[in-house]
Amino acid sequence: MFIYVVQNGDVLWEIADKFNSDVNKIVEANGLPDPNTLLVGQSLLIPEEPATHTVKPGDSAWKIAQSHGVSVQDLLWENRILNPENLYVGQVLRIPEKSRPEIEVNAFTYMLGQDAVPIVNEVGDELTYLTPFAYIVQEDGSLTPIDDDAAIGEAIAHGIVPMMSIVNFTTNIPGEDIAHKVLNNPDAVANLQSNVINTMKDKGYRGLNIDFEYVLPEDREAYNNFLESTVNKLHEEGFFVSTSLAPKSSPDQRGLLYEAHDYPFHGKVADFVVLMTYEWGWRGGQPRAISPVNEMRKVLDYAVTVIPRDKILMGFQIYARDWTLPFQPGQNAETISVEEAMERAYAHNAQIQYDYVAQSPFFRYSDENGNAHEVWFEDARSAQAKFDLVKEYGLRGLSYWGLGYPFTQNWTLLADTFDIAKL
């Protein structure tokens, strides 16, 4: 596939005709609600017809394969040719797709119960891990349970590895007190580890993600000790362990989110880590890209110096935010799906703009009450930019937050760009 940006006066059938594609395939690849409605600046994934080559005098299998950047073996296999000498002038050969890098893909889902089933079913072929979010740790090491049975069952049906998630916070509780009390109490730690192992065995989880945030700087060593002992205990039981890390760009970055997250130590003891490379455009802050590529690069530049590249899953948020303007401190943006963002753009005939530094699209509109809005979201271009980071840095893969926000272009492009590992 390739990406086309809609220009003034474009209509879908003309775009399809221009690129020898198909209107229905374009609609499906992009999840377009109405093929008759396009916006200037909107990005479209254009499915291409399979490449072909007509054999000319002097052609050989080797020469054709070289000219298209594929192997002779793949060329012969694609065309079911046993003898490479049996080519004839005028023969039309299909050119095989170039090999794609294989990565692992995780997705967190806050959608639980039966609500998780259709969501996991829709994108399950593109996932290595599914992580229902999340068991909340209590001060004594007990866990607040979640309704994750349906999500786990659907994951297993799609060959996805279910990964348990434990956290020390809620939307209303930052979590530093809980972390402090648990991490500095050997009995609470032992109780937590026992509860985790029992839950994993009971539910069918194969691994654990530890997402402790807002840990006090003075508890950094206690957190490291907890991680090491937990990894050792879970490895003995045959489970893997991953951790979630705040997006640091240097080892001495200040702030409650960052100081207790010891990148080198996590890189040493964990089987892999999830870098939470999103939320620059957070709901309580100024309008801006949620996952700006220029900021993500700073995190990756540091991370790969202290964590093995094959242990890093780069975070990618697949939701959008709508801010009311002018921005007022204390006023939260609305979190919506990418497809809801596009519906608002269609409704107000907004022109899609693109920030080439952040590699992120945005638009502005005025609602029925005359209030101005600014919406930052994701599209095929911004997804491609993030996929390019994974390839450029040679990372283990991607981790999405979170399922439940429809974004058709992402999943279409992901499948076209990578082979997704199934364990």
Tokens of 227: 């991680």
Contact yes or no for 240/206 (Cβ under 8 A): yes
Say how many C-beta atoms besides its own lie within 10 A of residue 330's C-beta: 5
Which of helix, strand or coil describes residue 301? helix
Active site residue 236: no
- The radius of gyration computed from the CA coordinates of the chain, to the nearest angstrom, equals 24
Measured CA to CA, the distance from residue 14 to residue 183 in angstroms comes to 62
Measured CA to CA, the distance from residue 19 to residue 26 in angstroms comes to 11
Say how many C-beta atoms besides its own lie within 10 A of residue 267's C-beta: 21
Partners of residue 313 on adjacent β-strands: 274, 397
Residue 402 preceded by cis peptide, ω within 30: yes
DSSP string computed for 105-127:
EEEEE---GGGHHHHHHHHGGG-
Single out the catalytic residue among 213, 295, 340, 374: 213
**E strands, 154-271, in order:** 161-167, 207-211, 240-245
Measured CA to CA, the distance from residue 55 to residue 52 in angstroms comes to 10
Pick the closest to residue 336 from 304, 376, 297, 368 (CA basis).
376
Q: What are phi and psi of 134, to 5 degrees?
A: -160, 155
CA angle 392, 393, 394 (to 5 degrees): 95
Which of helix, strand or coil describes residue 209? strand
Tokens of 214: 């807002």
What distances in angstroms separate CA 366 from CA 8, 373, 384, one per listed residue? Answer: 21, 6, 29
Active site residues: 213
